[in-house]
Structure 1
Amino acid sequence: MEGRTLEELGLAVAPREEPLSYPGAWPEESGLLVGDRMLPLNAHDTFEGRVPVLAVGSNACPGQLRHKMAEFGITTPIPMVKARVTGLDVGVSAHVSLMGYVSASPFNAPGTVRELFLTWLDPEQLAVVDASEGVMSPTGAYNRAWLPSCDVRVEPELDSGRPLAGAYVYVNRRGVLHNGDRVPRRHRDQRSLLTELLVSTPRLRELFGVTPEEFCARARLDRRLCARGTRLFAEEKLAVASGLERYVR
């Protein structure tokens, strides 16, 4: 088997295991995730039977994807393709994850250009990621939405950058956090984000402590506390709509 291990590439750490590493390390180039290795992709690879899902957070981290798939015994390869995306930006989810971090979520941003990863998932892999995002649960954090190319342009670096007809993305049901002016704030590294939130929100400190380390330790796997933190974002009027709600079906 060609390619290199995730450990060798610095891509092995899963934010599910180390919350402050969120969103985790992303690959430097497109590749095929096979177990604990990344193999090269080329322009002739096809993804028949798979659907394109944009990764805006830890789903672009091979270590996180490997962790999610291993939980269900899934070992099939996952193509991860760099793409130029126009009309979307990466914000901060208005909820506290049971994994112990505050995750990323997309928001509508006409004219904005970002380099993101497309994960091409088969039905079994898609079901795993849907479950991890709470799509089928009435109390889950995300809905999966189809973004048509007329509104969000996705140009994979393979296949000569030809735009896709559309792509799926996970949209937070509670919106995204704003920057104080009702404008969605962009997601930064987890330590900086949690530091800013704790400094600016006294009630958040009461629940989760005064440091990012305390936040992660208290939030992790504490369903009741995470729910309280999520409600606090709404009560403090820290959340706004992502602008992508109309794509949810």
Structure 2
Amino acid sequence: MNQNRPDAAHPPEDYPWVPASVLLQPLGSVAPPPNSRLVVAVGSNAAPSVLRRKLDHLGDAVEPALCRVRVANITVGHSAHVAARGYIPAAPVHAGQGVLTTVGAWLKPSQTEALDRTEPNYDRRTVNTHDHPLQLADRLPGVPTPDEFDLYVSRHGVLADPDGGAALPFGDQPTVLAWLARRLGVTKLDGPPADVCARLATGDLGARVTGLMRAAGLSQPAWPSLAADGGAR
């Protein structure tokens, strides 16, 4: 949900460029299709325009049914990898407190499969609303709060200091790039974020920096319970 390059109106420091209005204005206007699942977005998929663009190629004229959601015991951090286009993307983090306000999409199987293919660095996982109570901020007629929902968990873990502290909270690109530069000593991480992201997207630098994150112990599991059971859906 996190690898789309922003256009000229959305510089890297604004990543993931989800307008605040998305989380303030009601979204629920399209009824969920039969047999659909609720997928909770973290990162750029919370922008309806991004989600529609990813699903547009299906050509089935089914508009994603979107709604605002509030989910407990989840926060947002940074995946411990460099995205193909040079950004340090967002990722959900299992947390014992805090509430995430974001966008959920009711997707039918063909749509979830299509979305899976856009997320090579993430696994779609199913979590239950007992452990992570969920509220639908936009009520659609005849749609109850589900017992479970899906979200994309990073295969690389999330950025954190190697002393076992909490995951690095989600921030803008200048903040996370500076955090990495201090810990990795990579001079190519210094400079304006647009320039750094362009360098990371060129050649193998992004892959090398991802490897350095791992070697430096800057990654921790985003979802310990899922890691323990092998990550089964």
Q: TM-score range by the shorter chain?
A: 0.7 to 0.9
Distance 1:71 1:201, change over 3 A: farther
The answer on whether the counterparts of 2:161 and 2:219 sit within 8 Å (CA) in structure 1 is no
- Say yes or no: does 1:52 pair with 2:33: no
Match in the other structure for 2:62: 76
Match in the other structure for 2:215: 235
User: Per-residue CA shift, 1:43-102, capped at 9, x if unaligned?
Assistant: xx3442211111011110123223323456565311221111011111110010002211
Alpha-carbon distance in 2 for matches of 1:87, 1:61:
22
- Say yes or no: does 1:187 pair with 2:170: yes
Choose the corresponding residue for 2:148, options 155, 162, 166: 166
Structure 1: 5+ residue stretches without partners:
1-13, 32-39, 135-140
Deviation, 1:158, is: 3.1
Match in the other structure for 2:15: 22
Structure 2: 5+ residue stretches without partners:
none
SS state at 1:216 partner: helix
Alpha-carbon distance in 2 for matches of 1:197, 1:147:
30
Deviation, 1:216, is: 1.1
Counterparts of residues 119-198 of structure 1 (less than 5 Å): 119-134=105-120, 141-159=121-139, 163-179=145-161, 181=163, 182-198=165-181
The answer on whether the counterparts of 1:198 and 1:211 sit within 8 Å (CA) in structure 2 is no
Match in the other structure for 1:41: 29
Give the residue type in structure 2 aligned to 1:121: L
Distance 1:53 1:145, change over 3 A: same
User: Per-residue CA shift, 1:99-119, capped at 9, x if unaligned?
Assistant: 221111111112221212111
Deviation, 1:162, is: 5.7
- What is the percentage of aligned positions where both structures have the same residue? 28
Give the residue type in structure 1 aligned to 2:159: L
Choose the corresponding residue for 2:74, options 88, 93, 105: 88
The answer on whether the counterparts of 1:81 and 1:119 sit within 8 Å (CA) in structure 2 is yes
The answer on whether the counterparts of 1:94 and 1:176 sit within 8 Å (CA) in structure 2 is yes
Deviation, 1:209, is: 4.7
Higher relative contact order (CA 8 A, sep 6+): 2
The answer on whether the counterparts of 2:85 and 2:198 sit within 8 Å (CA) in structure 1 is no
The answer on whether the counterparts of 2:162 and 2:219 sit within 8 Å (CA) in structure 1 is no
Q: Scaled by the length of structure 2, what TM-score is found?
A: 0.81
Match in the other structure for 2:84: 98
SS state at 2:174 partner: helix
Give the residue type in structure 2 aligned to 1:55: A
